[in-house]
Amino acid sequence: MIVQASGDLNFQVMDRAYNPPKRFVVKLESRICDCVYWKIVGLPCPHVMAAMGYARHDVQEYVPTYFSRHAYLSTYSVMFSPLPDQCTWEPTRRSLIDPPIVEKKIGRPKKTRIRVANEP
């Protein structure tokens, strides 16, 4: 990946993994990358990592604390109380949810798929 700075914390990253190569704008201050991975997942994408390496920034500054080892261990530090057997549960007054009724289509079922126009 080729990184070009365009300001203090703005970068243009050319990713040569694509054919033709694609350009992605990375804004470290607002935590935005054009590939949207950072926004969706919450972890820096390869374009952001390349920009951080170019600017010599620490990756830990841009990763949320809930991805840390401490947060993971504190999630499971609380004891989970076991559940009793299902036969001891109180019966519910609500109606049971049944699967949707599927109506059988009229006619003979299709055995082969419909081919596309230029397919042999």
Identify the pLDDT of residue 105.
82
DSSP 36-99: -HHHHHSS--HHHHHHHHHHT--GGGGS-GGGSHHHHHHHTSSPPPPPPPGGGSPPPSSPPPPP
For the sheet with 32-33, list strands across it.
2-5, 10-15, 22-27, 32-33
From 107, 76, 2, 103, select the one nearest 46 (Cα to Cα).
2
Question: For 38-84, what is each residue's pLDDT tens digit?
Answer: 888 888 888 888 988 888 888 888 888 888 889 889 888 888 888 88
The pLDDT-based confidence of 34 (bands split at 50, 70, 90) is: confident
pTM of the entire predicted model: 0.57
